Amino acid sequence: MTGLDIGILLLVAACLAATVRMLAGPSEADRAIAGDLLLFGVVGLIALVGVRIGSGYTFDIVLVASVVGFLGALSLARALTRGKR
């Protein structure tokens, strides 16, 4: 059990916790911030699993996913206010 495996397990647990909060959150802001944590967690999982299987394109996808994750967070914030600023 290398450090990468422990990291993958912890990140999967964090993503599952975020999914639970997204399903059970009483307000919409809870669901939005759970989605934000899921976006971060997916970026981390891409990095760890990509290094684990030895892919050559890992960090390309990590860079693109970081940008998309940031845009997703801003879109979630705009969606909370129904498109108004």
Partner 1 sequence: MTALTLAGDVLVIAGALVFATAALGLLRFPDAYTRISAVGTAGGLGIVLVITGAFLHRPSVPAAVMVVLAVLLQLTTSAVGSMAIARSALLVRTPLSRLRFSELHDESGAEAEPDGGEPPLEALRLEETIADPGEHSERTG
**How many Å apart are CA 30 and CA 23, to the nearest integer?**
9
At closest approach, how far in Å is the CB of 65 from partner 1?
Answer: 9
Tell me how far apart the alpha carbons of residues 13 and 9 are, in angstroms, rounded to a whole number.
Answer: 6
d(CA 54, CA 24): 37
Footprint of partner 1 (CB under 8 A): 2-4, 6-8, 10-11, 13-15, 17-18, 20-21, 25-30, 32-34, 36-37, 40-41, 43-44, 47-48, 50-51, 54, 58-60, 62-63, 66-67, 69-70, 73-74, 76-78, 80-82, 84
